[in-house]
Structure 1
């Protein structure tokens, strides 16, 4: 197992083999340069144990690295909502920044990192971009003002990436063409439904909504400057 000039280690530290004279060998410790006569059989067991521990640490470190980098692939959806009073940005789940999981019958399963584009039925506009930030929690839908005939459902937390200040100021349905949902304008859309789209379509809508949000911020800043000048 051991070879002259080979480097090994025991509980004291790393060492280099200087000479082998069974049943012992002479070694020099790397840290302080001291030399010692060690029993070969005993050092062989120690070295094997250290090698096993080292391999276990490497495997554990690699597993943690894989876990950190193994981010699930994000899916992209249009989330349809209904807001009878379009002047108010207030509908179930929005104030709490949560979205209710789709029914099992829909075949859609949300997960953390999925991305959503919100669409309002009444104004026929896309008005917000959001990202699901973590796994769901279970709650009574009534806690978020949902009027559905069930007592519990899963709710995913959201991070709002871009949003129009008013529903009717968003991106109009007639202003975009969706490759992955070419008939979206003609579908019989249902509130609380999710419609899958591809990443290109999502980025197209997200870019349009980001521009809307930025324009609204610029207008708000101009109004503030005008008010200051008036004063």
Structure 2
């Protein structure tokens, strides 16, 4: 039996230490993700870390450092497919990027553990946890800062409401008013809200606009007899 011929207690203990380290550190990352109810929680992060450690450890024992390096390269690219499954796009909103990045970092933790770099994998775990916890107050503080339309690149839309019979004419008026104000239109969308109301939305090419100028355009649009309501909004780019 080949197992009895090749089994070495020292190598087995080395593998055990690598997998145990990946399991413990993956658990630390996974607990934080599970607490925040992320799609990739405790078990996923543990399995990613342990799996990466197992592949790197196996390659290291079969082909030494050169083999481990090649496997690490495949782990880096392969984990991207798993991360892609955690990313969801809902309209203009993208969710799961942080979860995918955490899975990528968990794989790095496991790869370090598999390469017997226990101290480095522990250090990396601390940085991952710090990124997901200590930086949250800073992220929340930045998100609460109002968007400065003068200096920020953003997504601008101007919307008007009219009746279906005048939709074509109002769309032309909307485009003309915006272009006269030096805000060319990238595209327009027509949405039928009801039998009596149609909403026409123009997306601007410009990624920086003067709110006062857009307010002036809105004021001019509301004077048109075919426009019952007009407004504009700005949102951050993806």
Give the alignment's TM-score, normalised by structure 1: 0.28
TM-score (norm 2): 0.28
- Asked which structure has the greater CA Rg, the reply is 1
**Greater fraction helix:** 2
Please identify which structure carries the higher strand content.
1
